[in-house]
């Protein structure tokens, strides 16, 4: 029996099993086995893939956004509307057969937008070009999931499942679970809170399935079995995802209002160019970046060319971004902006910068 058949068998058994306190342990073990098989499937596909497969797209700009969705949901039309790139759009499925990049100019920044081929149900198991599409999405800073308004919730649910099957966790935070493998000493299990979703016995059994017999485990929250398995696997990627509900001109006003109130969603019509400004605003918010302006000594900062970096960036990060020698020669930095207590404030390498801060780096004389 192959890996896909084993996965189908376990999924069928989980579907047959009623969810209650009496079956939690059995379902937890099944989830552990399923996670192992999916990891083997991903590893197998990587080792057996032919050279040249996939979409080789150079990362450019200040951030990357990947559009994924089923065929004919309007991704190509959206790319052509938001960027200067013209992607072929037609009224039939699979118009786009490769990855087409475009660039959005927004807030003095350049955002690379990728129009990826439509994926089909079962993409995570190798159907169509689903794995290549999801692999590109994994390298992006934000996933823009484009769905059709008249079947939005169904498509959102199916696409989310496909993405999660290959180890991407969208709109979630990594669980605060400490997992350290040891050479001896057995399994030591502790928690700082009462656990209601899993217990010590189930966690130990899942570790044994992964052939781990010596480890230290500490739960700092009431997490589920799936989240514990994610920590053990260690290869999960946590990403932001914005659900873009397109073709809202085909549904009623009442249905539009209901969909607009769902979490992490934006309702638009790419064809009629409706609500696109709000889409760009939400994309910028979900990218969660800051714009920083450098100021040479004795000159004014150039506000037309910011350095765009992730929120939480420190003076150390911007020194490394400009040149590695800046850290060795660093003396102090002057900061103007919301992160400064007074203007200007002289700060060190650990100072955290905020959006639109102006930074002047002071260095020691070179040898």
**16 Cβ neighbours under 8 A, 6+ residues apart:** none
Residue 280 CA to residue 307 CA, distance in Å, equals 19
Higher pLDDT, 36 or 216: 216
User: Average of pLDDT values for 15-23?
Assistant: 85
State the average pLDDT over residues 133-158: 94
Dihedral sign, Cα of residue 145, residue 147, residue 153, residue 159? negative
User: pLDDT value at position 346?
Assistant: 97
> ω before 170 within 30° of 0 (cis)?
no
| pLDDT in the model for residue 51 | 46
Span 231-252, average pLDDT: 96
pTM for this model (two decimals): 0.87
Q: How confident is the model at residue 52 (pLDDT cuts 50, 70, 90)?
A: very low
Question: φ, ψ for residue 123 (rounded to 5)?
Answer: -60, -35
Rounded average pLDDT over 328-336 = 95
Average pLDDT rounded to a whole number, residues 216-232: 96
Of 28-32, 96-100, 205-209, 213-217, which range is least confident? 96-100
Q: Indicate the range of 35-39, 198-202, 228-232, 236-240 predicted with least confidence.
A: 35-39
**Most confident segment among 28-42, 80-94, 150-164:** 150-164
Compute CA distances 137 → 2, 55, 106, 125, 162, whole Å. Answer: 27, 11, 21, 16, 12
Non-local (6+) Cβ contacts of 149 within 8 A are: 245, 246, 247, 248, 250, 251, 255, 256, 259, 267
pLDDT at 348: 97
Confidence of residue 92 (pLDDT cuts 50, 70, 90): very low
Return the minimum-mean-pLDDT range out of 7-16, 43-52, 315-324: 43-52
Token pair of 76, please?
């190509």
Residue 38 confidence class, pLDDT cut points 50, 70, 90: confident
What is the pLDDT averaged over residues 115-123?
Answer: 81
Confidence of residue 140 (pLDDT cuts 50, 70, 90): very high
Q: What average pLDDT is seen over the chain?
A: 90
pLDDT tier for residue 279 given thresholds of 50, 70 and 90 = very high
What pLDDT band is residue 36 in, cutting at 50, 70 and 90?
confident
């Amino acid at each position: 029996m192959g890996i896909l058949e084993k996965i189908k068998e376990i999924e069928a058994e989980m579907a047959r099993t009623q969810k209650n306190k009496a079956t939690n342990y059995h379902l937890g073990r099944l989830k552990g086995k399923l996670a192992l098989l999916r990891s083997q499937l991903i590893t197998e596909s990587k080792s057996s893939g032919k050279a040249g497969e996939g979409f080789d797209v150079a990362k450019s700009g200040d951030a990357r956004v990947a559009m994924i969705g089923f065929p004919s949901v309007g991704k190509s039309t959206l790319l052509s509307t938001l960027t200067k790139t013209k992607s072929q759009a037609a009224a039939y499925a699979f118009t786009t057969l490769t990855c087409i990049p475009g660039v959005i100019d927004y807030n003095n920044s350049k955002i690379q937008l990728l129009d990826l081929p439509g994926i089909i149900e079962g993409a995570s198991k190798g159907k169509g070009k689903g794995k290549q599409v999801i692999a590109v999405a994994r390298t992006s800073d934000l996933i823009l999931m484009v769905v059709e308004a008249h079947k939005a919730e169904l498509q959102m649910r199916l696409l989310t499942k496909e993405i999660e099957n290959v180890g991407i966790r969208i709109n979630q935070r990594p669980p605060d679970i400490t997992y350290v493998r040891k050479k001896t000493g057995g399994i030591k299990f502790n928690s700082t809170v009462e656990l209601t979703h899993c217990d010590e016995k189930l966690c130990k059994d899942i570790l044994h399935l992964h052939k781990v017999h010596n480890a230290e485990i500490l739960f700092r929250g009431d997490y589920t079995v799936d989240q514990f398995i994610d920590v053990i696997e260690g290869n999960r990627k946590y990403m932001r995802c914005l659900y873009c509900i397109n073709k809202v001109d085909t549904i009623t006003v009442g249905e539009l209002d209901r969909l607009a109130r769902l979490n992490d969603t934006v309702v638009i019509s790419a064809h009629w160019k409706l609500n696109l400004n709000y889409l760009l605003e939400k994309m910028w918010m979900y990218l969660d970046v800051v714009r920083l302006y450098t100021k040479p000594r004795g000159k004014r900062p150039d506000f037309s060319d910011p350095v765009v970096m992730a929120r939480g960036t420190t003076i150390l990060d911007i020194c490394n971004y400009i040149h590695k020698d800046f850290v060795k020669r660093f003396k102090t930095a002057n900061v103007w902006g919301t992160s400064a207590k007074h203007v200007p404030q002289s700060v060190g390498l650990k100072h955290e910068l905020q959006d639109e801060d102006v930074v002047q780096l002071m260095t020691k004389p070179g040898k």
